[in-house]
């Protein structure tokens, strides 16, 4: 190898160099000085960067040349892959670029150390230099974060489902999440390589599915296909019904346990409400029916036997269905366990509960009217057979319900804001008054009651009651020590309520005091379209005492005080704008 010979214009005068003995150090120093003088500021001849010749150029000249050529040499896009998904990274947006300064530092032959400087005197060329890649980590992190949103893939467990009586399988899928920190450095090599069509697999965190493909195949083979292979037939008491695969599949799923094993799960509540099942089970007597009681003289007799209720629970239905799903043929038939709900009153229990005699009875008469017959009859049906156990409280509103058309009541005359008006349930106060008096003479404890705002002549003064949904109820507590049974009856002109049980007192009577603080009514003319005429009646206060006798003597008295407002006279007239001309 021959040392480079500089041009005469730049050839310095060199002192003789001694190559032996103690002059060796001076010789090496001379070579070092010569190298600095000969190559100072120039790139070695034959040096290239990505095919760009920068040999013999000054650093400034090489920098300008590389700036032009390397900018064009960088790839416009990088094909990448995360898991099974592929995408593209824009190098500029990811902050990737060639670092000309660092590249020149690598290519320069004037390193400061003697070995590099002296070695440069004896090399014939600099060779091809790889450019240095610079990465802006902030930009790279942002670009890769956006890429992760499109290429990341969530892990998916294998699954088995049912639709329309058919088995559906979902294949498991491995999840991949791009490791942004590790992927930043991984972009350097493909950018340097410059092959836009080569795909770079970026580092990612892998998540394996818990439910494998093998487990899906097992679940289908051992359960799912047998479950959908044929209908299931069930019997509950005397009701028989069939569940086709389409109905079963609607409420059947397979869920993974902690080990990833798929196990069947039946929505028994949903299946119980399905028309196919509900239609059959609704034919069962779900509500128990008490024995019907009546009177022979004053003695209680059973007029109709009790009937237990039959309940099919969601749990019992599921317990019957699931084992049949993996069977075939006639083995897909089973029976649902039922639970019998016993009534409170039976032929055997009536006497034991103290339902042996008539305790009290009261009847209220009324003028016949179609709305009265309907509304009073409906209330009587709902009250008849009520059982009030010792220390229980009976409620008129809870038993009869809201007086609406949907509940079987029609419009009738009732008192509202101290005057007659039409509303659903009119006439029911006759039933409330009858219950109040039966309660009064049974001697049980009143809890809530209220009289009409003004007196109605067909009711006993101070011993009558009205009710209003949401504001006024009629309640009593059974403090007799024995059960009570309410026997309710009505005709088109009367209503009778009888309390059956065991008398606590020999006799209960009523003593009414005189009217006090009487007040005279006013006279009003109404042109309201729904006006109801009203006769006048004075208002007054009255006290009624309930007298308890036992063993031939008076035990106690309870006062019931009532305040009646005057019943104004109301004359209905047609409004002037409705009169005929």
Domains in the chain: ranges and CATH: 214-341 (3.10.20), 353-578 (no CATH)
Q: What is the pLDDT of residue 418?
A: 56
Residue 7 pLDDT grade (very low, low, confident, very high; cuts 50, 70, 90) = very low
Q: What is the pLDDT of residue 372?
A: 92
Q: From residue 113, give the alpha-carbon distance in Å to each of 32, 102, 272, 287.
A: 9, 18, 90, 104
Mean pLDDT of 442-455: 95
Q: What is the mean pLDDT of the chain?
A: 87
Q: What is the pLDDT of residue 412?
A: 79
**Nearest-CA neighbor of 247 among 271, 279, 213, 214?**
271
Q: 104 pLDDT exceeds 70?
A: yes
Q: What is the pLDDT of residue 17?
A: 41
**Nearest-CA neighbor of 264 among 223, 318, 213?**
223
Between residues 414 and 494, the one the model is more confident about: 494
d(CA 394, CA 386): 9
Q: 244 pLDDT exceeds 60?
A: yes
Contact 50, 69 (CB under 8 A): yes
The CA dihedral of 246, 247, 249, 253, to the nearest 10 degrees, is 170
- Report pLDDT digits (tens) over 164-205: 999 999 999 999 999 999 999 888 888 888 766 789 999 999
Q: From residue 404, give the alpha-carbon distance in Å to each of 368, 375, 469.
A: 21, 10, 10
Q: What is the pLDDT of residue 417?
A: 58
216: left (phi over 0), alpha (psi -120 to 50) or beta: alpha
Q: What is the pLDDT of residue 129?
A: 87
Between residues 243 and 125, the one the model is more confident about: 243
Q: What is the pLDDT of residue 26?
A: 45
Residue 579 pLDDT grade (very low, low, confident, very high; cuts 50, 70, 90) = low
- Report pLDDT digits (tens) over 207-225: 999 999 999 999 999 999 9
Contact 262, 219 (CB under 8 A): yes
Lowest mean pLDDT segment, chosen from 70-84, 288-302, 566-580: 566-580
Lowest mean pLDDT segment, chosen from 193-197, 407-411, 472-476: 193-197
Residue 337 pLDDT grade (very low, low, confident, very high; cuts 50, 70, 90) = very high
d(CA 493, CA 445): 29
Q: What is the pLDDT of residue 295?
A: 96
- Report pLDDT digits (tens) over 502-552: 999 999 999 999 999 999 999 989 888 778 888 899 999 999 999 999 998
Mean pLDDT of 310-326: 95
For the chain, report the end-to-end CA distance as a whole number of angstroms: 138
Mean pLDDT of 296-321: 95
Beta strands at 484-490 and 386-388: parallel, antiparallel or unpaired: antiparallel
Q: How many CA atoms lie within 13 A of 425 on its CB side?
A: 19
**Nearest-CA neighbor of 484 among 369, 569, 576, 399?**
399
d(CA 376, CA 366): 11
Of all residues in the chain, what percent are helix, strand and coil, respectively (each to 5)? 30, 35, 35
Between residues 75 and 241, the one the model is more confident about: 241
Lowest mean pLDDT segment, chosen from 136-140, 384-388, 395-399, 488-492: 136-140
Residue 128 pLDDT grade (very low, low, confident, very high; cuts 50, 70, 90) = confident
Contact 411, 495 (CB under 8 A): no
Reduce the DSSP state of residue 568 to 3 states and report it: coil
Residues 6+ apart with CB under 8 A from 272: 278, 281, 312, 314, 317
d(CA 432, CA 48): 112
Contact 533, 579 (CB under 8 A): no
Residues 6+ apart with CB under 8 A from 217: none
Percent of the chain beyond pLDDT 90? 65
Q: What is the pLDDT of residue 12?
A: 41
Q: What is the pLDDT of residue 466?
A: 94
Q: What is the pLDDT of residue 103?
A: 85
Residue 16 pLDDT grade (very low, low, confident, very high; cuts 50, 70, 90) = very low
Mean pLDDT of 267-277: 94
Residue 282 pLDDT grade (very low, low, confident, very high; cuts 50, 70, 90) = confident
Beta bridge partners of 178: 204
């Amino acid at each position: 190898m021959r040392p480079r010979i500089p041009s005469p214009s730049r050839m310095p005068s060199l002192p003789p160099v001694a190559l032996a003995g103690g002059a060796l150090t001076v010789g090496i120093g001379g070579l070092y000085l010569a190298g600095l003088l000969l190559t100072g500021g120039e790139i070695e001849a034959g040096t290239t960067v990505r095919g760009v010749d920068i040999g013999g150029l000054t650093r400034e000249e090489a920098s300008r040349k590389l700036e032009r050529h390397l900018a064009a040499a960088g790839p416009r896009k990088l094909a990448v892959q995360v898991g099974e998904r592929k995408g593209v990274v824009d190098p500029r947006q990811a902050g990737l670029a060639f670092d000309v300064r660092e590249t020149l530092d690598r290519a320069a032959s004037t390193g400061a150390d003697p070995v590099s400087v002296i070695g440069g005197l004896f090399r014939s060329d600099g060779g091809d230099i790889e450019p240095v890649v610079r990465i802006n980590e902030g930009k790279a992190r942002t670009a890769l974060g956006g890429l992760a949103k499109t290429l990341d893939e969530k892990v998916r467990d294998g699954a088995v489902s049912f639709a329309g009586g058919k088995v559906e399988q979902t294949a498991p899928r491995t999840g991949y999440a791009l490791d942004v920190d590790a992927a930043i450095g991984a972009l350097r090599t493909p950018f340097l390589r410059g092959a836009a069509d080569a795909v770079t697999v970026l580092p990612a965190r892998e998540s394996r599915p818990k439910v494998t493909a093998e487990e899906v195949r097992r679940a289908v083979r051992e359960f799912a296909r047998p479950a959908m292979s044929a209908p299931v037939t069930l019997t509950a008491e005397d009701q028989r019904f069939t569940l086709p695969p389409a109905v079963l599949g609607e409420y059947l799923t397979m869920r993974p346990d902690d080990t990833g094993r798929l196990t069947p799960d039946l929505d028994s509540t949903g299946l119980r409400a399905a028309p196919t099942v509900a239609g059959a089970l609704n034919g069962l007597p779900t509500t128990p029916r008490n024995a019907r009681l009546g009177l022979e003289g004053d003695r209680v007799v059973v007029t109709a036997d009790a009937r237990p209720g039959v309940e099919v629970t969601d749990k019992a239905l599921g317990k019957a269905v699931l084992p049949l799903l993996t069977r075939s043929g006639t083995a897909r038939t089973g029976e649902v366990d039922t639970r019998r709900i016993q009534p409170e009153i039976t032929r055997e229990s009536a006497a034991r509960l103290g339902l042996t005699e008539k305790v009290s009875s009261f009847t209220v008469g009324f003028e016949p009217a179609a709305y009265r017959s309907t509304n009073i009859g409906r209330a009587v049906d709902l009250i008849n057979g009520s059982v009030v156990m010792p220390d229980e409280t009976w409620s008129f509103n809870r038993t009869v319900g809201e007086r609406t058309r949907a509940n079987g009541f029609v419009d009738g005359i009732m008192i509202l804001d101290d005057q007659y008006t039409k509303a659903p349930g009119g006439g029911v106060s006759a039933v409330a008054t009858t219950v109040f008096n039966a309660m009064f003479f049974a001697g049980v404890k009143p809890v809530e009651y209220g009289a009409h705002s003004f007196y109605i002549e067909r009711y006993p003064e101070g011993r009558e009651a009205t009710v209003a949904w949401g504001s006024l109820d009629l309640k009593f507590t059974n403090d007799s020590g024995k059960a009570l049974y309410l026997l309710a009856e009505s005709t088109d002109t009367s209503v009778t309520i009888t309390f059956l049980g065991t008398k606590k007192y020999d006799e209960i009577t009523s003593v009414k005091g005189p009217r006090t603080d009487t007040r005279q009514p006013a006279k009003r003319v109404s042109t309201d379209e729904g006006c109801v005429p009203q006769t006048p009646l004075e208002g007054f206060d009255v006290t009624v005492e309930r007298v308890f006798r036992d063993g031939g003597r008076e035990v106690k008295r309870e006062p019931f005080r009532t305040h009646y407002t005057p019943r104004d006279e109301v004359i209905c007239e047609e409004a002037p704008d409705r009169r005929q001309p």
